[in-house]
Chains A and B, each alone.
Chain A
């Protein structure tokens, strides 16, 4: 399988595929382990799972969405998409990326459903319209909701990618004429992993898939079925602008002085304080950027009830971290030297202590010279010399 320099996979047909250097491959596994919040020692395990277990078949269905999630995945660069798709997972069906079209593509789907039943991972992108018998999404003369209900029972696991699939997203925003619903609500009773985001970070998706391939189970999920490794913390917790929030430095209008200086965007409606996601840790597009880093408030896309529901510039309901009641100075006073009054008082006290010590010592010397203890120095006071 693994040769000295090059690293190749056998597809199901046994043909060697395009190459990926061993170094690149291990690097990728390390990135995945890091995204999952696992120690570096996990990287070889992930690598072994991919090497030995063969590629995980993936069926990707698109519904009511903008295909932004796919676009986001296309822009993952370590590894690049084609390496990912051909070497790490086996993407069997994807309406945007299919090589074939029409009847040919649908035949590929049918074949996968027969061959890999109970073995493949279903990824659903986009919300599912159910109004008017689901007529608003039709694929191959079949309503989207019916397609989902046909494919999902045969899948090993279902992943809802993007906000639309996770909780409805834009299509479900009021008045929701198409009756758009999340994948989870259609497949009630089946565990669905939600990877919300508009679009979600591709590494959150990849990490979930590879976790599944490595350990044979789903990662730990939160109450909204989101993997905790990615959605366990508020954006606010790891935000690079957080010190400005704590210090009370806010941008108040786009382009104002504070905005130019990179102050906190909370007052511009940033939803970071109520949105759970790892955007500030695993950033986007491999250029270390997130909406907040380029100066736009977070709009809460991963959070049902926040993104596309709350007005963009409405301030967030702060959870967990309330702003302090008092703010520190921008420049802390550096302290002063001695004031004459303080120095005088200190000097008097110090001198007094030394004087008292001297007087007492003298008295004791005298007493000792006379006779041990015979003298009786009238004592009192300063037991606390020095």
Chain B
């Protein structure tokens, strides 16, 4: 059936203004108010951050989970462009849109997280750069990749020739952009490898502050794999969103194969992670107390989707695929929360739980992303639409 389908991208049908959009807008504006409070009254007023926990919910959610969810474009690019699996290429656009939004909002929340956010322009001044810093590498890479993602979205935007009544015609500049797009795509595969792994390297530096169950020299590898897994999960969910909105058949076979790939990656992750634990003789630690429980839950969340996908029937069932996708995301998100927050303890007396405003800002940012996402898929041909073709009779 997949063989006989033609894929195109279309703007989502129906009016932009519906219940979901209105709800998202409401949440987004509440969040905007919370952000204003942070901007005018400072970090001390609006957050529970302290010297022991200088990074809190904003970094773990917006940067680590946000960019992880945005790694669908990166993970698919590896499949489509590096491994030449073109069957997945129709999933690229929504994944790149998620990536562009996720990364942009990650950058925005990093600015909110800076005590002196006014100094953020230093990042753009080469004279202020410090090349020995992992954090700088992450910052530079994420900025570059965000730009790359938006450039990768340009073709989708230009396909719609009429924007707000203005006629858009690809000019010479755009034609050159198309010719050089392969460079952009290559960078789009390289940069996430660099900064997603560096998010792990940041924790290596944190040393003993990270619980031994998580502290590992293999941090970069774990963060890279968890980013790809989250990305695949997000892609599956988005694909179902597209099918539901357009009323087109579910892409069960393609998504089944994608889930299979994710499951193999998950197995690889589990193998390395547990082998690492054996190597360092930490198995006794793995069942002790709070951290042990988090560790067990986290890895169970990685095992569960593998169990789901291992069965062919479940693998090709939309519901199970969706559950597996959510579990992939949950596992990687929990892993990142554990490494950056739950298992991160500078010193016993330090405590941290996000303040009301911190949580409100995070929810507001999600609302904003949803608003922008819904608007983007409404105005531009982002979501894939499959049209079955009669030629499918050849089997």
A positions within 8 Å CB-CB of B: 332-339, 341-343, 345-346, 349, 357, 360-362, 364-368, 372-374, 376-386
Contact = CB atoms under 8 A, between A and B. Distances in A.
A78 B10 CA distance: 85
Contact of B241 (A334, A383, A386): A383
A335 B51 CA distance: 9
B351 A335 contact: yes
B250 A368 contact: yes
B52 A368 contact: no
Contacts of B356: 339, 341-342, 345
Interface in B16-54: 18-21, 23-24, 48, 50-53
Interface in B237-256: 237-238, 240-241, 243-245, 247-250, 252
A386 B330 contact: yes
Nearest to B323: A361
Contacts of B350: 334-335
15 contacts: A335-B52, A335-B352, A337-B351, A339-B356, A342-B355, A343-B353, A345-B356, A368-B318, A379-B244, A380-B374, A382-B370, A383-B237, A383-B373, A384-B234, A384-B370
Instruction: Determine chain B's interface SS by DSSP, over half rule.
Output: helix
Given A337-B351, A368-B250, A385 B326 contact: yes
Contact of A383 (B52, B98, B243, B318): B98
B326 A386 contact: yes
B241 A338 contact: no
B349 interface: yes
A365 B243 contact: no
Given A361-B323, A365-B319, A384-B69, A376 B247 contact: yes
Residue among B18, B24, B48, B362 with max Cβ neighbours from chain A (10 Å): B48
Contacts of A339: 353, 355-356
Contacts of A374: 249
A360 B355 contact: no
By Cβ-Cβ distance, the 9 closest A-B pairs, closest first, are A373-B249, A365-B319, A379-B244, A380-B20, A381-B20, A338-B353, A368-B318, A335-B351, A335-B50
A382 B326 CA distance: 12
B243 A373 contact: yes
Contacts of B20: 380-381
The A interface is mostly helix, strand or loop, or mixed, namely loop
A380 B252 contact: no
A335 B244 contact: no
A373 B369 contact: no
Given A336-B351, A380-B19, A385-B237, A345 B359 contact: yes
Contacts of A381: 20, 23-24, 370
Contacts of A372: 249-250, 252, 318
B90 interface: no
Contacts of A338: 353
Nearest to B24: A381
Contacts of B370: 381-384
A349 B363 contact: yes
B19 to A, nearest CB: 7
Nearest to A342: B356
Contact of A377 (B48, B244, B360): B244
A364 B240 contact: yes
B326 A357 contact: yes
B322 A334 contact: no
A367 B98 contact: no
B359 A349 contact: yes
Interface in B41-83: 48, 50-53, 69
Contacts of B98: 383
Contacts of A386: 326, 329-330, 333
Nearest to A326: B115
A377 B329 CA distance: 23
Nearest to A366: B319
A379 B355 CA distance: 32
A166 B20 CA distance: 80
A383 B238 contact: yes
A346 B50 CA distance: 20
B170 interface: no
Interface in B338-395: 349-356, 358-360, 362-363, 366, 369-370, 373-374
A108 B374 CA distance: 98
B89 interface: no
B245 A379 contact: yes
Given A357-B326, A367-B318, A336 B244 contact: no
B250 A384 contact: no
Contacts of B352: 335
User: Of residues A332, A349, A372, A374, which shows the largest number of chain B Cβ atoms within 10 Å of its Cβ?
Assistant: A372
B299 interface: no
Nearest to A381: B20
Given A368-B252, A373-B318, 19 more contacts: A332-B51, A335-B52, A336-B48, A336-B353, A342-B358, A343-B353, A345-B360, A361-B319, A364-B240, A365-B317, A368-B317, A373-B243, A373-B252, A378-B244, A381-B370, A382-B370, A383-B98, A383-B370, A386-B329
A335 B19 contact: no
A364 to B, nearest CB: 4
A362 to B, nearest CB: 8
Contacts of B48: 335-336, 342
A377 B355 CA distance: 37
Given A342-B355, A342-B359, A334 B249 contact: no
A346 B354 contact: yes
A381 B351 CA distance: 34
Given A332-B50, A334-B349, A376-B244, A361 B330 contact: no
Nearest to B334: A386
Nearest to A376: B247
A367 B250 contact: yes
A328 B241 CA distance: 49
A14 B353 CA distance: 79
A376 B241 CA distance: 11
Given A339-B356, A349-B363, A376-B244, A364 B318 contact: yes
A337 B350 CA distance: 10
B319 A380 contact: no
Contacts of A383: 98, 234, 237-238, 241, 370, 373
